[in-house]
Amino acid sequence: MSKISVRVYYEDTDSGGVVYYANYLKFIERSRSEYLRDLGFEQDDLTVNHNTIFAVRSLNAQYRAPAKFNDLLTVQTNIEKVGHASLTFLQKIMHSSKKTVLFKAQITIACLHADNFKPCGIPSLILEKVNG
């Protein structure tokens, strides 16, 4: 499991003062990148040295309660399923002090060759860290 903190800035909100719905997707994307970084992988290195990129294949999101300007949020990322060429994540965004789940999503990420965007197996060095 990986956790990051995200502060809600004015630019993240809509005219009602709550986080604009698409920005939750940015927050969980950031958390997945940090998850890989915590495992020792940089996405630009995977592209250049392993011809590998990850792309969102599917997303199921539930918006449960609004986050507001200046809130401190915790984004939690867990791998739910490891496939040959995909990873399925369960991610939650919570208000840091209240521990209330504001948003949750299940995201399947496909592993692709960076040069032609065709599916490929997840490199073994990643699978070892994910499964280990």
Catalytic residues: 14
Counting Cβ atoms within 10 Å, is residue 74 exposed (0-12), middle (13-18) or buried (19+)? middle
Instruction: List own/partner pairs for 7-13 with CB under 8 A and 24 or more apart.
Output: 7/70, 7/71, 7/72, 7/73, 8/67, 8/68, 8/69, 8/70, 8/71, 8/72, 8/73, 9/69, 10/69, 12/69, 13/68, 13/69
